Structure 1
Amino acid sequence: MTQQETATRFAPPAQSPSVVPAEARVAPPPQLSILMPVWNERAFLESCIGSIRAPEGMSIEVVLVDDGSTDATGDIAARWAAAAPFPVHIIHAPHRGKAAALNLAYARASGACFILLAGDDLLVPERLADRVAAVVGPGPRLAQCGYRTFWHHRPDRAGVEYDPRRSGDHVAGGAASFNRAFAEIYFPIPEELPNEDTWLRAAAIATGTSITPVDGLGLLYRIHPRNSVGPLRSFAETDLNLQQRHRAFELAERRFRARLDARGAARLAALCRAERLRQGRGLARLLLMPGLTWQDRTSFAANASPLLYALKRRAAPLLKRLLRL
């Protein structure tokens, strides 16, 4: 189907009807592209886009893909694009899912560095400069900032803050930043995957790309009933979603087979086996198998059965602080 694209750019006015200023014709690419896949985000989008502000001296652009929304998402995005002090490119596409929307956004983006932002989350703009600085340089670079959850319907309920220095090779998509060299590895995201962050992790493992921690809070993650995973989902929903997400490890083995070293191959193989054990309720073997970190063991185990999942949800605030599930 035809994709309709609307782009808003701000440039100095022409000196005469027949003269286009040179700076408008040869504008340098932005330092940062923010890629935004959105789908029926009417309830959250205005607060999300209100959190996007360019750091002083940094050029940014936003590429927003409206993934077949049937609510007012497109209207909200259009009004924002008309008034934003930086380029906002809007792509309207039929609904194909988050991975496909991010692939479209990347194909349109021209920045040197990238951040992924869901339409229901909030940026911390004061941290953007640090997130970009962490990935500037030659070769593939990937970084992760701290992030904190907050409850959309329960503002009185405390969220949980995640420290990137304690995350191992786990990556939250909205907390990640990366340069174009890593983007060329990461994209296209396999469209059968329901999310972007497990593929980020798998691509980093497969290519030996280390994850640089960025100190400080850079993202606020909203908890609400439409989250694909999280404390408001049942075990059955979470179990199915994790089966789909964890296919990223197998897909990475295939895509990056030619460049896998022994360490990356062993790590991906261990994660694939851990998912099979999780699905098969092989808890004892899961806890004892080699090649997993303690974060892996606790995360896989806590989602291995309805009972363990219920215990995890009941004790979630304490467990997440101690074990980073």
Structure 2
Amino acid sequence: MALPCETEARGLALGEARTHPNPSPGPTEAQILLTSILIPVFNEADHLADCLGSIRAMPDCEIEVILVDDHSTDATYQIACDIAAARGDLPITVLRNRGQGKAAALNLAYRHAKGDGFVLLAGDDLLVSEVLPARIAAVAGPQPTVALCRYRSFSDIPAHDGTLFPRPGREDHLAGGATSFNRAFAELYFPIPEELPNEDSWLRAIAILFCLPVTFIDRIGLHYRIHDRNSTGPSLDFALTNEGLARRHAAFSLALERFDGATAAGRDRLATLVQAEARRSAGDWLGVLRLKHLPAGDRSIFLANSTPWLFWIKGQLLQILNRRNRRSRSAGRNVTPR
């Protein structure tokens, strides 16, 4: 079991420079030999034990956990170290960053990961370990490959409890905790630009830019916690949502700037999303509506978050949909595969 807690903390405190190791070759067979679960955390003392407890060793799926505490001010770091020391079934490496944000924490985790396959997990969410082998099998191979499973919200806020994602037609909208990918994709994906607030849009930007298909796994592989400290999600008002989307959607233009060797089709599609974000953030919903070549799923997202009144309508429709889903489950009619 690896537990470089104090060593890593001292190295970072001294400003130790870390370089990316030589890329590891991907598996040559249709098999992932080791899966790295990367967990960035900040002030997750209330939830971390549940998160790590949801990760269980599965037959034919070797796992390592690389957890980075981003300079929490609560007991998160000590809890992580204690759990790592107590777990005999799972190697957990606990690292510490200097409060540089989620993207920087993930970049640090990746530099220490040895896996052929990767899963990202937030410290307040719950992994469905039984689905992990299917998620990893879907990305086996030497070419860059990415997959998305279903995920369901859970919350003490009734309006946000039990929502099933992704929405129909958005099965290629990659979400960090529901995404799995192989080493070849990781070499494109990392390092994540550290000015980005999270990983989701950068995942999708890379997949689009290189015209990579997203394998959809029609099983719930993650339970996504919604609470009042979420940096994104349905509990935020329009102003905060608008600001957050502008920061996340910056991933599209950053990807265009970083990569010169991407396909022309991928660059064109990503450029369309850059235009859509410019119009959305300006409140130009008609401009979004008129934008050619914008996929229907993207158009609905950009439109619904372009003005306060469209944002309000979206909220009302989501509440109706969530109530309908809860009634269906309570009546035993929910047949969504798990």
How would you bin the TM-score normalised by the shorter chain? Answer: 0.7 to 0.9
1:195-227 per-residue CA deviation (whole Å, 9 max, x = no partner) reads 101000001111121111112100011000111
Which runs of structure 2 are paired with 1:297-316 in the superposition (5 Å)? 297-316=299-318
Structure 2's unaligned 5+ residue stretches are 10-31, 325-338
Indicate yes or no: 2:293 matched with 1:291. yes
Q: TM-score, normalised by structure 1?
A: 0.87
Indicate yes or no: 2:61 matched with 1:55. no
Find the aligned partners of 1:81 and 1:264 in 2 and give their Cα distance.
41
What is the aligned-residue identity percentage?
Answer: 50
- Name the aligned partner's letter for residue 298 of structure 1: S
The answer to whether the 8 Å contact 2:159/2:322 transfers is: no
Residue in structure 1 matching 2:144, options 131, 136, 140: 140
Find the aligned partners of 2:203 and 2:7 in 1 and give their Cα distance.
28
Q: How many residues align?
A: 297
- Name the aligned partner's letter for residue 38 of structure 2: L
1:48-102 per-residue CA deviation (whole Å, 9 max, x = no partner) reads 1110012113211000000000101011101110122121101012101000000
Which runs of structure 2 are paired with 1:1-325 in the superposition (5 Å)? 4-5=7-8, 31-84=34-87, 85-151=89-155, 153-154=156-157, 158-163=161-166, 166-256=169-259, 258-318=260-320
The answer to whether the 8 Å contact 1:30/1:61 transfers is: no
Find the aligned partners of 2:158 and 2:35 in 1 and give their Cα distance.
31
Structure 1's unaligned 5+ residue stretches are 7-28
User: Per the alignment, in what secondary structure is the counterpart of residue 231 of structure 2?
Assistant: coil
Shift of 1:155: 6.3
The answer to whether the 8 Å contact 2:160/2:234 transfers is: no
What is the root-mean-square deviation in Å for CA atoms of aligned residues?
2.1
- Name the aligned partner's letter for residue 123 of structure 1: L
The answer to whether the 8 Å contact 2:39/2:120 transfers is: yes
- Name the aligned partner's letter for residue 302 of structure 2: F
1:135-174 per-residue CA deviation (whole Å, 9 max, x = no partner) reads 01121010010101111x2369642112487324311110
Partner of 1:18: none
The answer to whether the 8 Å contact 1:164/1:215 transfers is: no
The answer to whether the 8 Å contact 1:30/1:110 transfers is: no
Find the aligned partners of 1:238 and 1:121 in 2 and give their Cα distance.
21
Find the aligned partners of 2:293 and 2:321 in 1 and give their Cα distance.
22
Find the aligned partners of 1:297 and 1:237 in 2 and give their Cα distance.
20
Q: TM-score, normalised by structure 2?
A: 0.83
User: Per the alignment, in what secondary structure is the counterpart of residue 217 of structure 1?
Assistant: strand
